[in-house]
């Protein structure tokens, strides 16, 4: 299948390109710069020069494909909405896979699935109208699919390392917010990449929570990260106010208590995550 992809030079994008190519798909990926072009070409894609605001380029890339995978992070809801519309117009009845995130659900009060009510922190509140518009295309002959990944780990592990690993190397201990009892819904980047491949055959209007394995607590994650970066499990508690001062608005997302099941993707798409023990992976560094 011919697949057009945005965000291919990023953490998730590289893994998704590799997975698509491994499964026999051909990939054309959006690239804003020479560096981005080299990054998407390395795992096997061809580059289409342009950015997320170049709507005619997005439309062209999607029109020449049988499916679209949108991974790039937009600067605003308006930008994401416009980009999604341009690509959905281009791909027509082909599959359009849009990226959201589990943070939109807020605290889950136990194990939840894709039908849980939304209660997003301000950081991701803009996603709702975008995803509603994307999914509405199913009623007009489109084939939209939304994947809402959990918190990613594995590989370059940018998010957890940026907000917890790097500061910990300076401070000598990995921080967790509050008492650390809040759960995090995690997914390994390679497993998530396989979910994107599987989603190409999903039914129109499908929504999947991209989570795999257990839902450990923030404190357990901090202890594992600490071991993984050579700090022998050293951790420290910080208040939410301190975390906001250090991290900004993302602190409220890290403070969420979330537990999710990925059963729907397993049942409908045959998705089988290979990494089901995130703490072991994080502890290995």
The burial class, CB within 10 Å (0-12 / 13-18 / 19+), for 130 is buried
Q: Say what the pLDDT of residue 223 is.
A: 96
Q: Say what the pLDDT of residue 9 is.
A: 95
Instruction: Classify domain 2-151+187-210 at the CATH class level.
Output: alpha beta
Segment-wise mean pLDDT, segments of 10 residues, the chain, 285 residues? 97 97 98 97 98 98 98 96 98 98 97 97 96 98 98 82 79 94 97 98 98 93 93 95 93 97 97 95 90
H-helix or E-strand containing 177?
strand 174-177
Q: Say what the pLDDT of residue 171 is.
A: 85
Q: Say what the pLDDT of residue 239 is.
A: 96
Within the chain, what is the greatest distance between any pair of CA atoms?
56
pLDDT tens digits, 155-214:
876 677 777 877 888 889 999 999 999 999 999 999 999 999 999 999 999 999 999 978
Give the torsion sign (CA, 172, 176, 178, 179): negative
Structure-block tokens of residue 26:
């051909």
H-helix or E-strand containing 96?
strand 95-99
Kindly list the domain boundaries of the chain, sorted by start residue: 2-151+187-210, 156-185+213-260+269-283
What's the rounded Cα separation, in Å, for the pair 172 and 90?
51
Q: Say what the pLDDT of residue 31 is.
A: 98
What does pTM read for this prediction?
0.96
Q: Say what the pLDDT of residue 158 is.
A: 66
What's the rounded Cα separation, in Å, for the pair 137 and 187?
28
Q: Say what the pLDDT of residue 109 is.
A: 93
Total number of residues shown for the chain? 285
What's the rounded Cα separation, in Å, for the pair 164 and 238?
12
């Amino acid at each position: 299948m011919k697949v057009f992809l945005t965000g291919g030079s990023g953490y998730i994008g590289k893994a998704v390109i590799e997975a698509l190519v491994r499964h026999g798909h051909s990939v054309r990926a959006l690239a804003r710069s020479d560096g981005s072009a080299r990054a998407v070409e390395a795992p096997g894609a061809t580059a289409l020069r342009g950015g997320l605001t170049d709507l005619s380029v997005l439309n062209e890339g999607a029109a020449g494909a049988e499916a679209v995978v949108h991974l790039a992070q937009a600067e605003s809801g308006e930008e994401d909405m416009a980009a999604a519309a341009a690509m959905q117009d281009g791909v027509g009845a082909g599959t359009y896979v849009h990226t959201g995130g589990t943070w939109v659900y807020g605290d889950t009060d136990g194990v939840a699935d894709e039908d849980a009510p939304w209660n997003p922190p301000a950081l991701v509140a803009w996603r709702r109208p975008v995803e509603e518009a994307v999914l509405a295309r199913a009623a007009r002959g489109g084939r939209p699919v939304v994947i809402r990944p959990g918190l990613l780990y594995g590989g370059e592990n940018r998010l957890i390392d940026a907000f917890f690993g790097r500061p910990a190397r300076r401070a000598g201990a990995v921080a967790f917010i509050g008492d650390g009892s809040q759960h995090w819904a995690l997914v390994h980047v390679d497993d998530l990449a396989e979910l994107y491949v599987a989603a190409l055959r999903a039914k129109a209007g499908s929504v999947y929570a991209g989570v795999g394995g257990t839902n450990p607590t923030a404190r357990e994650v901090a202890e594992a990260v600490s071991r993984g970066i050579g700090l022998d499990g050293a951790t420290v508690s910080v208040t939410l106010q301190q975390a906001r001062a250090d991290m900004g608005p993302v602190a409220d997302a890290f403070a969420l208590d979330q537990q999710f099941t990925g059963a729907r993707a397993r049942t409908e798409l045959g998705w089988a995550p290979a990494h089901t023990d995130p703490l072991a992976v994080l502890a290995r560094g």
